[in-house]
Structure 1
């Protein structure tokens, strides 16, 4: 172990990336349904490796902190703007209450525990999972005009308190909200969720805009011998029907654009219900194929960030290779 310790002390950058690697590897593992997550696992790995007495340059800490701030702003900035535009007043009031409570609780805990300024700042950052506050606290401590040794002692206590309390900040809050909170308030969480779903879900409907149906490829039919791409190209202009899966000789396979359709194949076609009825209703033989049609369907929100697609119509985007077998609708934040 002496050679490893000497190497990490001589090349602290190895320790940094080793912590990241171990953290992401361990964070991706699940133990009986429980996972630490990449952030918490990386913090624990860094604490363990840091016990070897590795010194990281303050410049490196500052640069990585700026990178962290940029990543946070880039990731949540659009959501923040949309949220303010939609529910600005309520969000502002909630933010004020949350800020007061988030500051008061760690301050009281630090006073009771007798923490110094550095450990108190780490307690605040970790318990509230507000990593950005560590940079502000570091700058504030450096501006206190303390002797270098005293300032270093305060700064060294900050990341330790942060890493330990961050674990509770992430896991503890979830446990309180899911288990302790409802009991204290006398709320049946399961029933409350069911009531909320019934209130907000709206009435159900047996009609769906998009449908998945199974059709048999007939001997001498117009698509027998054609590739999937050629068969899909036979559709009238403006229609979007796609071959999702193929059952051949009892085996189900995902359709590829270069697969050749053979007589006897059963294909799963996906598209708008009215197009399936109007285009294929009178010429194709529909069959019942439960296993073939057992395809998961998912609806997702896509936020446009690329300049390459900005200004393009949905019809243009639908022609891109990645848009095959998908349908889109436009929405905008109020």
Structure 2
């Protein structure tokens, strides 16, 4: 029996799609001297090979992938759009606009200099900056009808040209950016470690990487034995022993006889009371001294507790804009912050880290304490397995409708296109979700799979479309495109660094992180953090990344309609 694998693959598009994704994942995870092209690059390379040999998939697959990805980009950017206007926000805003506008103008200048058509110019910008949103915006401008193909061309041929230019420039866009980011501090004789430490000292951060050294709280019960505390309230004891501004912490519950008492500031302490303390081993010793406790006791009424972990979305205006030290998750509620993310980027768990709306905190503590903390900070994103697909689908429908709206200016119909509509809809839903976490529930795992799968389905289509013409293009305009790509990858980064240092007076470690965010390169962020031996660059990355995705999507559309 002879099995013709080539024939099987030609007959089954689903087999082609997931084979490319699987092989692409393997290629993307291969590291060479700490460099890797990433999953997106791996899938693109594999799809180019399959496309070269004539494999195709139904265009609807790429359309679905495009829709899922670009809507998720807007959804992720929603909570952070307004945040960039706070604290260092104006700098991030100006830097992001400078990078996007500078790259856009540079691409137009190079296209005019070497006579590149708009399709190659759009692919050049997308590949050089490794910006998939730019590619999505450019291709959607064609497929949605915003761009009319010239006589003798078709929409498919224009999309193929965009994909080809993207493929030619993407590899250096990935590896070249990592090399420049790695070498730039040495060339400019900038000590990133010292810069990160200086910024950390200024803002009260930890200078160490964001490794989790989480103290595990335990629950123990003790007997009140200090006669000096007899008849005093907890508030009076705290004021006399530790100062007037110490908050109620560590005490889980009190037992007097058979009565269980929930501790409050006005609760009176009596000799013989049993007090359950929920704290780290080190804090237990402090609590025993503070409240005059001695002699550990065994009492199941006190020590039976539900210790839980909550994922909390920050929404309370009274918390937004405050450093973690003022939020006081432990000092006020006896809860322990184990992780905090912003736009899916881990933030430093340091007293000076400023909390922003939409930040997601992972907090451990006793269940009642967690409930009190959640009420004060925001809302708990409970570990639900279901996703609110009604809101998700309705948001996409709303975005697609917005994308169809056009305004007639003279003889020209102007609209945002599908990409612009989905971005706006995603931003609105994401913003509402950050402010009302019970709305549009979507667990982290669901967010990841929808965005990642959408991106990879789209990249499979891009690679297959480009594969048929990649050899011919490399032979004709390949060298020119590649050299232009080198310029577009390097020059905006260097100009952005100079602008950030001279005009915006930004810290070098923070600035490099912000530049990687403005170029939407998470691997480059890893290189910067590694060189700085700090998570400080992640703050800059989170400040520019969300807005950069939006601007670069619009840039891809603009290049095509000019």
Q: Find the counterpart in structure 2 of residue 241 from structure 1.
A: 278
Cα distance between partner residues in 2 of 1:15 and 1:302: 35
Q: Find the counterpart in structure 1 of residue 191 from structure 2.
A: 188
Going by fraction, where is helix more abundant, 1 or 2?
Answer: 2
Q: Find the counterpart in structure 1 of residue 81 from structure 2.
A: 80
Contact 2:337 2:363 in 1 (8 A): no
Aligned residues: 262
Q: Find the counterpart in structure 1 of residue 158 from structure 2.
A: 154
Structure 1 residues 276 and 82, CA gap change in structure 2 (3 angstroms)? farther
Task: Please state how far the C-alpha of 1:65 moved relative to its aligned partner.
Answer: 0.8
Residue 283 of structure 1: which of 280, 285, 295 is its match?
Answer: 295
SS at match of 1:129: coil
Cα distance between partner residues in 2 of 1:128 and 1:117: 17
Instruction: Give 1:105-124 correspondences, 5 Å limit.
Output: 105-124=106-125
- Kindly provide the CA deviation profile for residues 127-180 of structure 1, in whole angstroms up to 9, marking residues without a partner as x: 123322323322444532424645433321222322343333344323323313
Contact 2:24 2:39 in 1 (8 A): yes
Unaligned runs of 5+ in 2: 208-213, 220-251, 255-261, 264-275, 297-335, 343-361, 379-433, 435-562
Cα distance between partner residues in 2 of 1:168 and 1:279: 63
Cα distance between partner residues in 1 of 2:98 and 2:151: 37
Please tell me the root mean square deviation across aligned C-alpha atoms, in Å.
Answer: 4.6
Structure 1 residues 17 and 122, CA gap change in structure 2 (3 angstroms)? same
Contact 1:212 1:270 in 2 (8 A): no
Structure 1 residues 202 and 90, CA gap change in structure 2 (3 angstroms)? closer
Contact 1:27 1:37 in 2 (8 A): yes
Cα distance between partner residues in 2 of 1:127 and 1:298: 39
Q: Find the counterpart in structure 2 of residue 201 from structure 1.
A: 204
Q: Find the counterpart in structure 1 of residue 499 from structure 2.
A: none
Instruction: Give 1:13-32 correspondences, 5 Å limit.
Output: 13-31=14-32
Contact 2:23 2:43 in 1 (8 A): yes
Task: Please state how far the C-alpha of 1:45 moved relative to its aligned partner.
Answer: 2.3
SS at match of 1:301: strand
Contact 1:211 1:273 in 2 (8 A): no
Higher relative contact order (CA 8 A, sep 6+): 2
Q: Find the counterpart in structure 2 of residue 176 from structure 1.
A: 180
Cα distance between partner residues in 2 of 1:44 and 1:302: 31
Does 2:286 match 1:274? yes
Cα distance between partner residues in 1 of 2:158 and 2:92: 35
SS at match of 2:72: helix
SS at match of 2:340: coil
Q: Find the counterpart in structure 2 of residue 319 from structure 1.
A: 367
Q: Find the counterpart in structure 2 of residue 220 from structure 1.
A: none
Contact 2:288 2:294 in 1 (8 A): no
SS at match of 2:295: coil
Cα distance between partner residues in 2 of 1:126 and 1:20: 19
Q: Find the counterpart in structure 1 of residue 65 from structure 2.
A: 64
Cα distance between partner residues in 1 of 2:288 and 2:114: 69
Q: Which moved more, 1:69-78 or 1:41-50?
A: 41-50
Cα distance between partner residues in 1 of 2:68 and 2:132: 12
Structure 1 residues 184 and 2, CA gap change in structure 2 (3 angstroms)? farther
- Kindly provide the CA deviation profile for residues 197-244 of structure 1, in whole angstroms up to 9, marking residues without a partner as x: 34333799xxxxx966999xxxxxxxxxxxxxxxxxx964565637xx
Cα distance between partner residues in 2 of 1:185 and 1:156: 40
Q: Which moved more, 1:138-147 or 1:12-21?
A: 138-147
Q: Could you state the TM-score of these two structures normalised by the residue count of structure 1?
A: 0.60
Cα distance between partner residues in 1 of 2:177 and 2:77: 21
Contact 1:116 1:154 in 2 (8 A): no
